[in-house]
Amino acid sequence: MAEPILKWAGGKRAMLDEILSRLPSKSQFNRYFEPFFGGGAVFFALKPDNGHINDINPRLVNFYRQIKQSPEQIITQNKEFDKKYKKQNGLRFNRDYKNQGNDSEDFYYEKREEFNRLRDGVNKCEDPVREASLFLFLNRTCFNGLYRTNQKGDFNVPVGSKWTEIDVLERRIREAHRILQGTTITRQDFTQACEDIGNNDLVFFDPPYPSVRKTGSFEKYHPGGFDYERHRELQQLALELDKRGAYVMITNANDLESDIEKEHYVEKLYSADVLPDSFRKILASGERMINSDSTKRTNIGETDIIVTNFSPFDDQRTFDDFR
């Protein structure tokens, strides 16, 4: 089972067992679609033969396109970054480094500035391979692997206290390169990415979650956000895809767990009296991996929901079925 390359807020690595065990087997579906790709934990674990992955983030989409086309260049450039970063940090070889000096912080911000300069608008990138290489370096060295931009679209996450050496990720990069060879990669709105979905295709929706807690509000990965109307649009699209004969799975926040005043609109969109008989919903235990305190990256209860029209819903498999 392949692993994702990137750390990604909202990633589904901690829920893979619950998600994979409820998906149809690869022999049952034709094509796999993931319109909100992010870190792609489900895709890499499933390794579909005919994948269609999509995200609205242009730098993220470019990253996966370059992993598909030029993985060795990305590895080589990141090895050079690591040599300079370790030299300025004054560290010897370890697997989990702690940032110990201003020189290394200066190097990080220098690379962050270069990264932001490379792109002028959504579709204009001066050097796609260089951008992808810097994207990976920043993801490995920034605060908790977050991806956040300002209103101008500039990446603005500060340097982290720890970082991961590129050698740890080489195998994952090469395996991702192999898996992506049979995959179509697009940057579209999720509605456009689903226009071609038909009978016996499988679509996995993992949209940006609404903020349901006073802390840990990481649903805004790019300017624009994802509000109630967009969540309702996704729900309507899921019902339409069900009519087309597609397999549909949606993950979202269990907003009844909210500790602040909310409309609980996820619950309203996916309650039993709203969903057709072909759909089922269960509560799932999530693990919040993006937290400055590593002791809090634990199971924090039934934080998520899984909604799907795959029946029988309770037929579950194990990880071994996907190896």
Pairing of strands 247-253, 96-98: unpaired
Closest CA to 116 of 83, 142, 89: 142
Residue 290 or residue 138, greater confidence: 138
pLDDT for 265: 83
Helix or strand (DSSP H, E) at 60: helix 58-69
**In this predicted model, what pLDDT tens digit does every residue of 127-155 receive, in sequence order?**
999 999 999 999 999 999 999 999 888 99
Q: Which CATH superfamily is domain 61-177 in?
A: Adenine-specific Methyltransferase, Domain 2 (1.10.1020.10)
Q: Which CATH superfamily is domain 13-56+188-322 in?
A: Vaccinia Virus protein VP39 (3.40.50.150)
d(C-alpha 110, C-alpha 29), whole Å: 46
What pTM did the predictor assign? 0.87
Q: Is the pLDDT of residue 322 over 90?
A: no
**In this predicted model, what pLDDT tens digit does every residue of 171-221 receive, in sequence order?**
999 999 999 999 999 999 999 999 999 999 999 999 998 865 544 444 444
- Helix 71-89 and helix 128-141: axis angle, to 10°? 40
| DSSP state letters, 204-271 | EE-PPPPP-SSS-----SSTT---HHHHHHHHHHHHHHHHTT-EEEEEEE-GGG-SS----HHHHHT-
Residue ranges, comma separated, of all CATH 1.10.1020.10 domains in the chain are 61-177
Q: How much of the chain is helix, strand and coil, in % rounded to 5?
A: 40, 15, 45
Q: 118 with 192: CB under 8 angstroms?
A: no
CB atoms within 10 A of CB 33: 27
DSSP state of 107: H
pLDDT for 220: 47
pLDDT for 121: 75
Average pLDDT over residues 94-116: 76
**In this predicted model, what pLDDT tens digit does every residue of 27-76 receive, in sequence order?**
999 999 999 999 999 999 999 999 999 999 999 999 999 999 999 999 99
223: pLDDT confidence band, cut at 50, 70 and 90? Answer: low
Task: Tell me which residue has tokens 């999720």.
Answer: 190
pLDDT for 114: 98
pLDDT for 313: 53
Q: Which residues contact 227 (CB under 8 A, 6 or more apart)?
A: none
Q: Is the pLDDT of residue 261 over 80?
A: no
Closest CA to 236 of 185, 190, 201: 190
- How much of the chain, in percent, has pLDDT values that exceed 90? 64
pLDDT for 102: 64
pLDDT for 214: 42
Residue ranges, comma separated, of all CATH 3.40.50.150 domains in the chain are 13-56+188-322
Which bin fits 251, alpha (ψ -120 to 50), beta or left (φ > 0)?
Answer: beta
Which of 25-34, 244-253, 288-297 has the weakest average pLDDT?
288-297
d(C-alpha 302, C-alpha 256), whole Å: 10
Which of 70-84, 210-224, 252-266 has the weakest average pLDDT?
210-224
pLDDT for 264: 82
**In this predicted model, what pLDDT tens digit does every residue of 83-97 receive, in sequence order?**
998 887 665 444 445
53 forms beta bridges with 34, 185
Which of 47-56, 159-168, 285-294 has the weakest average pLDDT?
285-294
Half-sphere exposure of 77 (CA within 13 A, CB side): 19
pLDDT for 319: 45
C-alpha dist (Å) from residue 300 to 17, 178, 284: 16, 35, 10
